[in-house]
Every structure is written in C-alpha cells, then in structure tokens.
A = this chain, B = another copy of it.
Amino acid sequence: MTIKEVTCCAPVNIAVIKYWGKRNKELILPTNSSLSVTLDQDDLRSTTTARLIESAGADQLWLNGSQVEITPDSRLARCLAELRRLRAQVEASATDASEKDELPESRRALVIVSENNFPTAAGLASSASGFAALTFTVAQLFELPMPAEQLSCIARQGSGSACRSLLGGFVAWDMGKAINGEDSGARMVAPQAHWPDLEAVICVVSDAKKGTSSTGGMERTVQTSPLLQHRISSVVPARMAEMESAILSKDFDKFSELTIADSNQFHAVCLDTNPPIFYLNDVSRAIISVIEELNRSSRLAGKGTVAAYTFDAGPNAVIYAPRSEMATIVSTLLHYFPLAGSFDDPKRYLQKKSSNLSLPAGFNMNVTPIWPQGSVHRLICTSVGDGPRVLSTEVGKGLITLEGSPRSMLNGHK
C-alpha cells in the first residue's frame, strides 16, 4: 500500500441558457436544461490535489488556504461518498489477489486541497469549477473507469452547474427524467475547437451589496414566481434546440440573440420572485445599454451583431463576441468604465488600434455617462476552453507538500 496522489484542474463555465430552479434539492435535478460555454483554464481554473493516505479516517479538506470541515450531510460529503461507492464497485470486481489483504482505497482517507486562481471577491461562480475539479481529481485517483459525462452526474450533486465544467467547448446539461438523476448530466454539443473565433471578456463589477445565494434564490423563485413555470415549460425547450443549432452552425447573430434573451429572462424571473431578487445593478444595466447600442448601431450600418452579454447570479457581465469585434468592445468598455488600474490586454486586442474609439457609425455616445473609475474593476479576457486536465500524478508535486500540508500553486503553472 502506497500513498497515491493526483492533481487536476477544471474550468469555469458560463451559461448562455440559464439553470434556475431545482426539481429535486438533494440530487440537484434542475427544472430545465441549460447550456454553457466552457472558458479557458489558462485564464480561470480551480486546481485540486487529492491524496490517498495509508490509513482509514476522516477526510480533510483545504479550500483556498483554509481548512473546511466536511459535515456529514454536506454536498461535498455526498460527492465523496458517491465516488467511494463507485471505487468499491471497482474493487469488488477486481481479481488481483496481491491487493487482497490491503486496506481498499475506497476505505482510505483522503486529503484534498483545492484553490481557484481567481479571487472569490471577483464574484465569479467558483463552485462550478471547484466541484468539477474535486470530482474529476478523486475519480482519477480512484481510477474510475467512467466517461466525463457520467462523472458529471456526481459533480452535479455538489453544485448543479459544476456538471457542465466536466467537459470542454459547448456543453448542454440535459435535465433528464430519471428519479435517481442518472440521466441529468453534461453532454458536449461541440468541442473547444469548433468555434475558435468566439472569445469572451468578463467585466468584474464592484458591488457593495451581498447578493442572494443561488441556492436560496432559485428555491424562492420556484416557490413564488408565476412566470417561472412558463419559462420552464414553454420557453427553454425551444431555446435549447435553437441554441444548439446556432452553435453548430456558428451563427453568432442567433447565438447572441438567444444568450441575451435568456440572461434577461433569468433576471426577469428573479424579479418576479417574492421577495424579488436583484443581481443586476446600475453598472450592469449600463453595460447592457452599451452592448445593446453597439449591436443596434452595427445592425443599422448593415452589419451583424457585435456582442452577446450574459449575467449570472451577480452584477458581473460576461460578453461573448467574435475575436474581430473585441477591439471595439474592449475599447468601448474602457471608455465608459475606466479601470482604476491598467488593462494588461493579454490578447492584444488594442495593439493594432489607436487609443481612439472605433465605433459603428450612428453609435449614440450618450447611451450612458462615463462611470467613476473602478465601477468596473477588472476586465478578464478569455476564450473557449477544454475540459478538466490532469496536471500531475506524482506525490508532493501538487497542492500538498510531502509532509501533508497545503501549499498554494497560484502562479505555479499556466
């Protein structure tokens, strides 16, 4: 019996058809299907190291540098129990007599250390990438012989949208029908390489107010919004089909139309909740106005849609656009929402441009005033990414020192 260790990372995903509402809270089964774009792990990721120690005992977990207790009824405990159950199945069918007397892996204790390379304060959903990384890492450690689609049903029980981070590219989460949730998981609609022209910029918006949690919020919406049922039964199914075909045909106009409509409808059902839930603030609304005005003036000039915006359960905007439009989008955002610090432009959008705005003719500059510096405090430029990656299988090379304590790998690997 030896110490085993695996380190993996998993990506963030941002939905373009939104998940909002559970039909089963324990298994996290959604009231509607959803669809997301996996973002590049080179930019945003959760990294997890899981180590199997040589004895049984309580599992230990460190999250972003702090030790976290794994309470018995927690979602985390549920994911780990499910992974152990699958490992025990593997062990039961194993015929290798040499391991017979050893403590089986499914009964050995785990030490898990996980961290995000983006600040939680950034307001980006870290639970999706976090539970995806944890599920994927432990599955690697246990050498579970199952595809990512099946693992996604485990990650889903940690955090619903985590299931979509088990795959790269464009990912549907089919709501499924089975009572045990076995058909409610991720499915790749198109791989990362399918639409290389599509990129994303995240506007991190300052917000003093602590928003409503997703879990509590969606439960309240399910219980009180008269409009949600109509969204679930009559709007989303058609939108899912249209979105899949827009992605397969790389039709950005349609992709944008659906993405924008679904983001706004998600926030509409939040507002239709009692008490109402607000995630957008005045800066979010101003970003919407700027993007809508870019699209309006571009179409007026006989050109296509410039950008699609979408907002999750917070004030941050995620803007998807073809690479050719990013110089215009980023320079326009920087004009109306000057950063407090500098914009480092990792994708060199502004390299070939003068610092002047290059806007569509007919763009109404008065669409919003110029906001106080720092109202948007960061722009993160990224692209479509792949699924979880194995970074290391060597003991001591990940987030756990040889001695067994947590170690940060922030800036340690790209």
Verify if A109 is at the interface (C-beta below 8 Å from B): no
Binds B, one of A58-66, A87-95, A166-174, A259-267: A259-267
CB-based contact B267/A271 at 8 Å: yes
Verify if A98 is at the interface (C-beta below 8 Å from B): no
Q: Main secondary structure on chain A at its contact with chain B? A: helix
Binds B, one of A8-16, A136-144, A274-282, A343-351: A274-282
Contact flags (1/0) for A290-317 with B, using CB distance below 8 Å?
A: 0010001000000000000000000000
Report chain B residues within 8 Å CB of A261: 226, 272, 274
Verify if A216 is at the interface (C-beta below 8 Å from B): no
Report chain B residues within 8 Å CB of A226: 230-231, 234-235, 261, 265
Identify the A interface with B (CB < 8 A).
208-209, 226-227, 230-231, 234-235, 257, 260-261, 264-265, 267-269, 271-276, 278, 281-282, 285, 288, 292, 296, 368-369
Say how far A298's CB is from chain B's closest CB, in angstroms: 13
Q: Told that A227-B227, A227-B235 touch, could you supply 17 new A-B pairs with CB distance under 8 A?
A: A209-B368, A226-B230, A230-B230, A257-B274, A260-B274, A260-B275, A261-B274, A264-B273, A265-B271, A265-B272, A268-B268, A268-B271, A275-B296, A276-B292, A278-B288, A281-B282, A282-B282
Report chain B residues within 8 Å CB of A231: 226-227
Specify the chain B residue showing the minimal Cβ separation from A263: B276
Report chain B residues within 8 Å CB of A269: 227, 268
Report chain B residues within 8 Å CB of A274: 257, 260-261, 264
When all copies of this chain in the complex are counted, the total is 2
Report chain B residues within 8 Å CB of A267: 271
CB-based contact A227/B281 at 8 Å: no
Say how far A261's CB is from chain B's closest CB, in angstroms: 6
Q: Can you give 24 A-B contacts (C-beta < 8 A)?
A: A208-B369, A209-B368, A226-B234, A226-B235, A226-B261, A227-B235, A227-B269, A230-B230, A260-B274, A261-B272, A264-B271, A264-B272, A264-B273, A265-B271, A267-B271, A268-B268, A268-B269, A268-B271, A268-B272, A275-B296, A278-B285, A278-B288, A281-B282, A281-B285
Say how far A241's CB is from chain B's closest CB, in angstroms: 15
Specify the chain B residue showing the minimal Cβ separation from A228: B227
Specify the chain B residue showing the minimal Cβ separation from A277: B264
Determine the distance from Cα of A230 to Cα of B369 in the docked complex, in whole angstroms: 36
Specify the chain B residue showing the minimal Cβ separation from A282: B282
Specify the chain B residue showing the minimal Cβ separation from A230: B230
Determine the distance from Cα of A29 to Cα of B278 in the docked complex, in whole angstroms: 32
The 10 A-B residue pairs with the shortest CB-CB distance in the complex, in nearest-first order: A230-B230, A268-B272, A268-B268, A268-B271, A275-B292, A282-B282, A264-B276, A227-B227, A226-B235, A278-B285
Say how far A155's CB is from chain B's closest CB, in angstroms: 31
Specify the chain B residue showing the minimal Cβ separation from A231: B227
Determine the distance from Cα of A269 to Cα of B261 in the docked complex, in whole angstroms: 12
Specify the chain B residue showing the minimal Cβ separation from A295: B275
Specify the chain B residue showing the minimal Cβ separation from A281: B282
Determine the distance from Cα of A311 to Cα of B215 in the docked complex, in whole angstroms: 28
Determine the distance from Cα of A209 to Cα of B366 in the docked complex, in whole angstroms: 10
Select one of B230, B268, B271 contacting A234, CB under 8 A. B230
Determine the distance from Cα of A235 to Cα of B226 in the docked complex, in whole angstroms: 7
Determine the distance from Cα of A274 to Cα of B260 in the docked complex, in whole angstroms: 8
